[in-house]
Structure formats: C-alpha cells, structure tokens
Amino acid sequence: MRRKLVFGGCIAALALLVLAGPATAQEVSDQYDRTVSSGAEAMNMVVLDNIFIFLAGVLVFLMQPGFALVEAGLTRAKNAANIMMKNLMDMCIGVLAFAAIGWGIAYPGDFNGWVSSAGLGIAGFFDGALVDISPEALASDDFYPLAVPVDFFFQAAFAATAATIVSGAVAGRTKFVGYLCYSALVTAFIYPIVVSWKWGAGWLDELGFIDFAGSGLVHMTGGFAALAGAMVLGPRIGKYGDDGKPRALPGHSIPLAMAGVLLLFIGWFGFNPGSQLQADMAVPVIAVLTAFAAASGGGAAMLTSWLTMSKPDVSMAGNGILAGLVAICSGIAEMSWLGTMITGGVAGVIVVLSVLGIERAGIDDPVGAFSVHGVCGFWGLLATGLFATTSPINGAEESAGLLYGGGAGLLADQVVGGVVIAVFVFAAAGAMFMILKAAGLLRVDPADEVAGLDISEHGSPGYGPDILAATATV
C-alpha cells in the first residue's frame, strides 16, 4: 500500500514536470515554417529532405552489422559463421523481397503514385524519382517531399531490421534453408501487412494508433516472430538440465556483442530522426530524445541486473540500451524529455525481468530478442498511451495520453494495436514455422547441433583452429 502511494506520488510529480516542459518534437515541427515560393527555394528544400532521408537510411543499414555482432557475440563460437550468414541473407533477401512484393503490400493505394502505376513489384520503380515542386503541388496539403526511391530505401532498411531480429532467437539449432524461407516470407508478407495497417494508412491509422518509428510495426513484428520461432523450435540441446532448470550457455564474445550494441545505438540515430521523413528542426530534438531513452534504458537495466542477479551484468546493460531504444520509437515525437526517460528507464527494468522470466518459462531465446523487441516494443506502445502530450497528427480527441488529460482513449488504441500485432504476427509466424517443421526444414539433427551449425550447414568453421579452444564443442 505504502509502496503504491510512493509510486503514485512519483508519477504525479513527474507528470507535473512533464506538463511544465514546453515542447515535443511534434510541436517543434508544427511551429516550423516550410513555406517556399520559388522553384530554387523549393528545390533546395526538397533535395535536402531526400538527401537527409537517404543518409538516415544508411544509418539504419548500419544496424545490420550491429545486429550481426550482437547475435554472433551472444551465442557460441561453433555457430558464429551461421549467424553472420543469416544476417547477410536477411539484408539481401530483405531488400529484394520487400522490393518485389512487400513494398506494394505495405503502401497500397497511390502512395506517391508508385503502386498505382506499377502494380505489385518494382517494374515502375523510378516513375516517382522526381518530386513535383510546382506552386500548386507545394501549396497542397498533401505535399510530400520524398521521392519514391528514397522512401523505398528507408523502408527497405526497416524491413531488413524486422527480419534480422529473429535470427538471434533461433540461433544454434535452425536449418539454414528454413531460415531463408522465414526471411523471405517475413519481408515479403508478414511485415508489410502489419506496416500497411498504420504507415500504409490502414485501419490502425484511422483508429488513431500512434507508432512514429515502429515500436509496434517493426520491433513487435520481429519480436513476436522471434518468440514463435523459439517456441516451435524448442530449446537448444543442453539449455535445460534434467531438472528442467535453465543452464547458462555463455556467448562466445561479449566484446563483439557490445560493439554491436554500440553500432545499433548509432544506427538508431537514423531510425528515429529519419522517421520524421523530412529535414526539419524536429530532427535534432528526436536525436536527443533517442540518446536519452538509450541512456535511461542502459542505466536502468544495469541497476536491475545488479539487484536481481547480484552483479551488474554486461549483456543485460547492452540489452537495456536496446530496450530503451525500442520502447521510445512509438511515442518519441509526442513525448517530452521526461516521458522519454521514463519510457526508456522502465524498458530497461522490463527487459531484465523478461529475459529471466522467459528463460524460466522454458523458452530458449539465446539473445533475448523477444524481450528486447517484443515485450519492450509493446511497452513502448503503452507508454505512448500514457505519456503522449499532444498528437496533432490525427487531431482526434483521444490523441493525448492518459497522464495528459487525453483520457484512456489513446491508451486503448495502443493496446488494441499492440495486441492485434502480437496475435497476428505470432499466429502467422507460428504457422509458418510449424509448416517448415512439418516439412523437415526447421531443426537440424542433434549431432549437427552438437557439432555446430558452421560445420553442418556451411561446411567450414567460423573460427580457425588457431582461435577455437579445445573445449569448443560445449
């Protein structure tokens, strides 16, 4: 009881502070005047928009080596080449499958005129490579500064991100051919369907659901597909003892894994600020809030691991940074700096408890992908429902959070969105993994698993005999 009072008092005090804070990224963007008249002024503005989003997309692609290193580092040396290969192919297949099929599903209708003129696929891809900057177009409320290619580039990087989240959760026991099928299906169908609901102007968008940079659309999609994969596959050999209790299967290189976390941190400076989709003064605000969320998540996870595991755990701190980053994606344009820090900090607590709980529940997710992306992605959606101070995007009544006089409406929308994404992705990915299992394409033979996937799936080890210790078959 007393704890609850203390907790409530804290929240109230914080809420006041938040209310006192003047501005969100969205408000900065709204106050920012982009009226241009002449052709050259418009050209300069639009080219900067497109070049900036291109560069933001490059930063998002930098998350690919980040994910690869995190996942390789947190698993065992005998599977390291397999993890890297899966990440290489996520990027290759992700780009091609999203171009051929996914993009058309994610952005149906006449998004920038592309799909309407070309149908599914990439045949008409560069029709929209120029932006109409005639005075009429500029004056239109629908003026959108990005050309189709840069839009595609940025979104393809997101699709590759959604796909790559799964590879860590299914590490150490999955057939490579099954993984390829998964990767293609997620980037061609599952992820684009979810995206279409919001960013493709679908039902979640009409509902008033807020997901600025993808806590739900990107991270929950990856996270719940990861959960489905880990559950259908079952745990790695040796992960649980005869008593059913989990045993540590330590990652082979914390330095590689944490270097990956730092690359992801940096890549997120493309992920969130780039989601502003134009070069304006809200971009640096979003960048600062991204750093705040990461720092809060990392600090909170370190402290939580210290309290629950007796020592400050390195990989938990790294996962806490990622958890804070995942959670803030949804509401970052609508939150003050304090809402951001609370969102990130709570994510850092949640991720530690979730990783420990998932492990105890008998689900073997070697890198904590579901906890980071699925659980903290969902938390991010809820946090928006609590802390969003304004939401002029839809102008709907329910568009402020519970703590800012908006009632429970936005929160309810966020819950609906989160639950539907979770259920759909879990079901679709689960069905897919079960079909692959039934077809004998999912799990490697026990002997191959013990020997390591580098040998069994790819024919050569990920580390040479000059590096691999004699104890390498743990």
Residues 6+ apart with CB under 8 A from 355: 316, 319, 365, 368, 371
The gap between the terminal CA atoms of the chain, to the nearest Å, is 48
Query: Could you say which of 19, 122, 353, 412 contacts a second copy (CB under 8 A)?
Result: 122
Stretch that binds a second copy, among 82-90, 186-194, 218-226, 437-445 (CB under 8 A): 82-90
The pattern of x and - marking residues 247 through 266 that bind a second copy according to CB under 8 A reads -x-xxxxxxx-xx-xxx-xx
- The answer to whether 37 contacts a second copy (rule: CB under 8 A) is yes
- Spatial separation of the C-alpha atoms in residues 374 and 226, rounded to whole Å: 8
* Smallest separation, CB 386 to a second copy (Å): 20
Asked whether position 275 contacts a second copy by CB under 8 A, the answer is no
With CB under 8 A as the contact rule, the residue among 15, 28, 101, 325 that binds a second copy is 28
φ, ψ dihedrals at 74, nearest 5°: -85, 0
DSSP state, residue 235: P
Residues whose CB falls within 8 Å of the CB of residue 437, separated by 6 or more in sequence, listed in order: 232, 233, 443
Indicate the SS3 state at residue 240.
strand
Query: With binding defined as CB under 8 A, does residue 44 bind a second copy?
Result: yes
* Residue 203 CB, nearest approach to a second copy (Å): 29
CB of 394 vs a second copy, minimal distance in Å: 22
Window contacting a second copy (CB under 8 A); options: 14-22, 209-217, 363-371, 388-396 = 14-22
Q: Which stretch binds a second copy (CB under 8 A): 51-59, 188-196, 202-210, 234-242?
A: 51-59
Count of residues binding a second copy (CB under 8 A)? Answer: 141
| Of positions 15, 26, 70, 78, contacts a second copy by CB under 8 A | 78
Strand partners, 240: 246
| Cα gap 374→88, rounded to integer Å | 23
Is 137 near a second copy (CB under 8 A)? no
Task: Determine which residue in the list 15, 77, 220, 403 makes contact with a second copy, applying CB under 8 A.
Answer: 77
Provide the β-strand partners of residue 443: 174
Which 413-472 residues touch a second copy, going by CB under 8 A?
A: 454, 457-472
Place of tokens 């070069």: 279
Is 224 a binding residue for a second copy by CB under 8 A? The answer is: no
Question: Residue 116 is encoded by which pair of tokens?
Answer: 């309407």
166 or 282: CB nearest a second copy: 282
Hey, which residues between 281 and 320 contact a second copy (CB under 8 A)?
281-285, 287-288, 291-292, 294-296, 298-299, 302, 309-314, 317-318
Least CB distance to a second copy at residue 306 (A): 9
Please tell me the distance from the alpha carbon of residue 196 to that of residue 206, in angstroms, as a whole number: 12
Residue 325 burial (C-beta neighbours within 10 Å; 0-12, 13-18, 19+):
buried
Site for a second copy in 341-370 (CB under 8 A): 341
CB of 301 to a second copy, least distance (A): 10
Alpha carbon distance 213, 197 (integer Å): 14
Q: Find out whether 59 and 271 touch, Cβ atoms under 8 Å.
A: yes
The verdict on 276 binding a second copy (CB under 8 A) reads no
Structure token pair of residue 35: 């009226």
152 binds a second copy (CB under 8 A): yes
CB under 8 Å to 105, separation ≥6 — which residues? 120, 188, 189, 192, 193, 196, 200
Question: Interface with a second copy includes 40 (CB under 8 A)?
Answer: yes
In the complex, what is the shortest distance from the CB of residue 213 to a second copy, in angstroms, rounded to a whole number?
Answer: 16
Q: Rounded to the nearest whole angstrom, what is the least distance from the CB of residue 139 to a second copy in the complex?
A: 14
Residue 67 near residue 260, CB atoms below 8 Å? yes
Complex with a second copy: residue 214 or 298, whichever CB lies closer: 298
Contact 190, 223 (CB under 8 A): no
